[in-house]
Amino acid sequence: MNLRHLTVERFRNLAPIDLDLSEGVTLFWGQNAQGKTNLLEAVHYLATGRSFRTRWDRECLPWDAEPQTVARIEGRVDRATTSHHLAISLTERTKLAWVDGKALTRLADLLGKLTVVLVTPDDIGIAGGSPAMRRRFLDMALSQISSTYLRHLQSYIEALRQRNAALRSGDSSLGTPSGDGQLDPWVGPLVEHGSEISLARREAVEEIAALAGDLYEQIAPGDGGLRMETRSGSGLTAEDTREQARERFRERLRQAADAERARGQTLVGPHRDDLVPTIGDREARHCASQGQQRSVALALRLAEVRWMTKRTGETPLLLIDDLGAELDRERRCRLLSLFGAQVQTLATTAGDPEPLRQMIGAGRAIEVRRGMLRANLE
């Protein structure tokens, strides 16, 4: 899969962009606050319909934009057997998407047309941050390759939201010790969709963990080895079948009934899952150095690329913001050696582009200055 052409208009500080892209690595360089990250954000928005930096679409418009301003991002994507033209527009209050000129009725239908893996300095939180960050890591990867997973996730989130609202209101029929679906109408949807989420995550973690372990050894040899442990918020075990997973989740809800009524929220389920990276049998978030945590996050992101390729037969677009941030030179060189021409990569750096370009084998280095693409080193 390759993004062959990109057009951007009225997105943050970016000047109008009309750019042909090639296979391999393209390096965008320049000083801070010039628009390099904004460019990657626009590509991510085209692929997913959302920003990776803010929840508020209005922040993606130029800071001095008039209320009627419309930002637009378009791209041509070449896949193994097909090509697609993607487009998305956004205002302060609305956004619309098109595939091959046909308007989408659901923004979620955009996912999967251009798959991306995003690497940012904030990824250190995958190793050392909250469980929510690790769940987002899994959910984004799975949602891009499986519309079924995305539907289960959206349905679960909605059922969870409504059940929590009812629990906060003091509805005594919810969180019943019997788990009776007639008394607690959200038990059925939670169990149905939540079990599918947990099963899909379990399978994904098993596959990604094997890939990440090999990659971590190449990035940081001798550190003790990277392993992954899944802690299920719904009681799922490594051997459970679908029916067993549902029954375990239902039983957990029964056991938590009194506590849920007291606290006014659902306390068990896949929204409490965690993916726990360990180095040498010690949890990375507690015992690893910052350099080790960043290496863990990078290994997981690169494993995500290989996992998505294996699952779909299409290599995702790799987006790297601030290439090599906070890594020592030795680890950076090992990381760069893992890149291959078969992975189309758009990367940014605030450093001298030429040495990095040579190490990573970038075919192009484009300067970004005040939102404009000003130089192209071929």
The helix/strand/coil state of 206 is: helix
Is 91's pLDDT higher than 60? Answer: yes
* pLDDT at 221 (0 to 100): 83
Q: Which residue would you say has higher pLDDT here, 286 or 10?
A: 10
Average of per-residue pLDDT across 154-168? 94
pLDDT band for position 332 (cuts 50, 70, 90):
low
Q: From the CB of residue 165, how many other CB atoms can be counted at a distance below 10 Å?
A: 12
* pLDDT at 184 (0 to 100): 76
pLDDT band for position 120 (cuts 50, 70, 90):
very high
Question: What is the C-alpha separation between 227 and 299, in angstroms, rounded?
Answer: 11
- Express each pLDDT in 4-31 by its tens digit: 999 999 999 999 999 999 888 899 999 9
- Express each pLDDT in 238-282 by its tens digit: 899 999 999 999 999 999 988 998 899 999 999 999 999 999 888
Average of per-residue pLDDT across 121-148? 94
* pLDDT at 210 (0 to 100): 94
Min mean pLDDT across 231-245, 287-301, 319-333, 360-374 is at 319-333
* pLDDT at 176 (0 to 100): 53
Question: What is the C-alpha separation between 63 and 58, in angstroms, rounded?
Answer: 9
Q: What angle, 0 to 180 degrees and rounded to 10, lies between the N-to-C axes of helices 187-219 and 329-337?
A: 110
pTM: 0.91
Average of per-residue pLDDT across 153-168? 94
Residues 6+ apart with CB under 8 A from 166: 174, 186
Share of the chain above pLDDT 70, in %: 91
* pLDDT at 39 (0 to 100): 97
pLDDT band for position 327 (cuts 50, 70, 90):
low
Average of per-residue pLDDT across 230-236? 92
Average of per-residue pLDDT across 185-201? 94
Mean pLDDT value across the chain: 89
Share of the chain above pLDDT 90, in %: 68
* pLDDT at 181 (0 to 100): 46
For each of the domains in the chain, give its residue range(s) and CATH number, in order of start: 1-115+315-378 (3.40.50.300)
Question: What is the C-alpha separation between 242 and 84, in angstroms, rounded?
Answer: 36
Question: What is the C-alpha separation between 370 and 352, in angstroms, rounded?
Answer: 18
| Placement of tokens 């987002």 in the chain | 136
* pLDDT at 202 (0 to 100): 95
Is 160's pLDDT higher than 90? Answer: yes
Is 220's pLDDT higher than 60? Answer: yes
Average of per-residue pLDDT across 206-232? 90
Average of per-residue pLDDT across 302-327? 87
